[in-house]
Amino acid sequence: MEWTDDAIVLSARRHGESGAVVHVLSAGHGRHAGLVHGGFGKAHRGALLPGNRVRVRWRARLAEQLGTMTCELVDAVAARAMDDPARLAAVSSACALCEATLPERQPHGPAFLALAALLDALESESWPTVYVHWELALLRDLGYGLDLGSCAATGANDGLAFVSPRSGRAVSASAGEPWRDKLLALPRFLVTGGEGDAGEIAQGLVLTGFFLERHVLGPNALPMPAARSRLVDRLRS
């Protein structure tokens, strides 16, 4: 069994003296793990940081085995984010969420492309807005996309201000006002486009976090990744 693919490093954990079990999100083979010999040695250490884009070659005698992996560095995304704690937190959060939520060894091309787009967007000042859109895209790829195009109660597409926690559909300000304490806030930038301010970014993260926990993490008895919680705390501060 053997394949070669473009991938993004999600995590690397020490195995033995210098080896590493590396999880990647690959373009054609989904989330996949493999043993990288010498992965924590000097020659490979910088290549296996979360967020780095690599060219992966995976081999195993049988398909169900862990297999061995070689990773050739293509783009050192993590190194460019090192000087900015917030951007580095975004990389860690996105990679941790992918590892926690995406099923192993199942192709998820849209998730790979969305993560690659997020990493590219870290070069711009609008990256927090892109990050919220990325979590929405992850939910959509997992089959739990939110319907934010029209009001669930009236069918109108104007004045949208809330999201129903039960249906994941938008609700207008007038229709939702009597139940506003039970509804989730819908950030304006998710309706009108453009860039969100700090308060709207916080609302967006509450919104996506709620549905990630309800539909993906909770049913599998998984906690929200600590890296994602650290990103939320950093953006709030």
Domains annotated on the chain, with CATH: 2-81 (2.40.50.140), 85-148+186-236 (no CATH)
Say what the pLDDT of residue 214 is.
Answer: 96
| pLDDT at site 38 | 83
pLDDT given for residue 190 in this prediction: 96
Q: Strands 2-15 and 19-26, how do they pair? A: antiparallel
Cα 166 from Cα 154, distance rounded (Å): 17
Residue 39, pLDDT score:
81
Low-confidence ranges of the chain (pLDDT < 70): none
Cβ 157 vs Cβ 151: under 8 Å: yes
pLDDT of residue 27: 97
Please write the tens of the pLDDT for every residue from 131-149. 999 999 999 999 999 999 9
Alpha helices per DSSP H over 82-225: 85-101, 109-121, 127-141, 173-176, 189-192, 198-211
Strands (E), the chain: 2-15, 19-26, 30-36, 53-59, 68-75, 160-163, 170-172, 184-185
pLDDT value at residue 63: 81
pLDDT in the model for residue 158: 86
